[in-house]
């Protein structure tokens, strides 16, 4: 308790930055308030949107995505941060909203089983200046990644911070890497972001992602990519996640629904995208 009080006093004493600041440390601190929190603790995020297939200039919707992920933030003695994460994604029919366990691939005409597995638990580490120490491994797969936080845009009481992430994930058995290009924009309140007493700012997000075909789709070497656009919000507890998402977790992963934070103690899932 004393250590927590000392940390909160330290955070509250940090000066607020100017609203037009372009200092990378200020931008990263705003990002952390919006995506995570400055103090130790847990945050949850839900995202929902549509996954598309793209071949040349032809883009077609494939299914609805229900995404949930949660983070446990732990401040380190050197000023850095360790963020533990867990992610569960579900796919639904575009027309009916029915949860999909298999799916008719419109490109091949084949009905395939959806083998989307959880991602995590994983850890990301941030340096004292707020920059990400890029991961080199994910669920047993080798990772080559880049990350850019910013710029930060402020208009009135709205604050937006960009978070751009790219990765090439090579499975343990070799083969072509799974490529990810993720561009997320976090939005919050200028008053909360600039207030040194606020450690966990309210936030929403809009994300676009371009990736390789997922392996369970059996697309082999067909040309093309997958594209998604999603929106969502940060919440304080699992109980604040959308009802439909919580019901799906209870159906598919009842142990996680009963104890979401227990997922941080689970054995890491293999990367099978």
Q: How confident is the model at residue 174 (pLDDT cuts 50, 70, 90)?
A: confident
pLDDT at 8 over 50: no
Q: How confident is the model at residue 171 (pLDDT cuts 50, 70, 90)?
A: confident
Provide the pLDDT for residue 238.
98
CA 251, 119, 249: angle at the middle one, nearest 5? 15
What is the mean pLDDT of the segment spanning 221-239?
96
Provide the pLDDT for residue 4.
40
What is the mean pLDDT of the segment spanning 254-261?
96
pLDDT at 1 over 60: no
What is the mean pLDDT of the segment spanning 46-52?
98
Distances from the Cα of 68 to the Cα of 49, 132, 171, 212, angstroms: 12, 22, 24, 21
What is the mean pLDDT of the segment spanning 89-107?
96
Q: How confident is the model at residue 9 (pLDDT cuts 50, 70, 90)?
A: very low
Reported for 213-217, long-range contacts at CB under 8 A and 24+ positions apart, including other chains, are 214/116, 214/178, 214/273, 215/178, 215/272, 215/273, 216/112, 216/113, 216/114, 216/115, 216/116, 216/272, 217/105, 217/107, 217/108, 217/112
Provide the pLDDT for residue 273.
60
DSSP assignment string, 142-169: EEEEEEEEEEEEEETTEEEEEEEEEEEE
Distances from the Cα of 100 to the Cα of 62, 146, 215, 222, angstroms: 12, 32, 16, 23
Lookup: tokens for 139? 């669920």
Provide the pLDDT for residue 272.
62
Residue that wins the pLDDT comparison between 30 and 175: 30
Provide the pLDDT for residue 12.
39
61: which DSSP letter? E
Contact 43, 186 (CB under 8 A): no
pLDDT, averaged across the chain:
90
Lookup: tokens for 216? 């369970």
pLDDT at 62 over 70: yes
What is the mean pLDDT of the segment spanning 216-220?
93
Specify which of 12-26, 209-223, 258-272 reaches the highest per-range mean pLDDT: 209-223
Specify which of 114-118, 137-141, 144-148 reaches the highest per-range mean pLDDT: 144-148
Q: How confident is the model at residue 256 (pLDDT cuts 50, 70, 90)?
A: very high
Please name the residue ranges forming H helices in the chain: 2-13, 24-35, 190-194, 243-252, 254-258
Q: How confident is the model at residue 117 (pLDDT cuts 50, 70, 90)?
A: confident
Q: Is 11 helix (H, G, I), strand (E, B) or coil?
A: helix
Lookup: tokens for 157? 């009481």
């Amino acid at each position: 308790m004393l250590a927590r009080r000392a940390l909160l006093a330290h955070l509250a004493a940090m000066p607020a930055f100017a609203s037009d600041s372009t200092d990378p440390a200020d931008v990263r601190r705003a990002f952390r308030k919006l995506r995570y929190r400055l103090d130790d603790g847990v945050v949850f995020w839900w995202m929902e949107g549509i996954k598309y297939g793209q071949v040349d200039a032809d883009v077609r919707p494939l299914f609805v995505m229900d995404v949930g992920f949660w983070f446990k933030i732990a401040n380190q003695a050197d000023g850095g941060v360790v963020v533990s994460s867990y992610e569960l994604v579900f796919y639904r029919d575009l027309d009916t909203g029915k949860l999909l366990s298999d799916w008719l691939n419109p490109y091949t005409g084949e009905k395939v089983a959806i083998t989307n597995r959880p991602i995590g638990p994983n850890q990301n580490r941030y340096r004292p200046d707020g920059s990400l120490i890029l991961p080199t491994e994910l669920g047993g797969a080798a990772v080559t990644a880049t990350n850019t936080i910013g710029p930060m845009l402020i208009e009135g009481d709205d604050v937006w911070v960009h978070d751009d992430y790219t990765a090439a994930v090579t499975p343990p058995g070799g083969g072509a890497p799974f490529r990810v290009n993720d561009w997320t924009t976090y939005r919050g309140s200028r008053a909360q972001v600039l207030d040194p007493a606020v450690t966990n700012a309210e936030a929403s997000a809009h994300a676009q992602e371009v990736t390789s075909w997922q392996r369970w789709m059996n697309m082999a070497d067909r040309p093309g990519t997958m594209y998604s656009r999603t929106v969502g919000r940060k919440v304080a507890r699992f109980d604040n996640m959308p009802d439909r998402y919580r019901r799906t977790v209870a159906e598919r992963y009842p142990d996680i629904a009963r104890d979401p934070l227990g997922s941080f103690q689970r054995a890491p899932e293999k990367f099978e995208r």
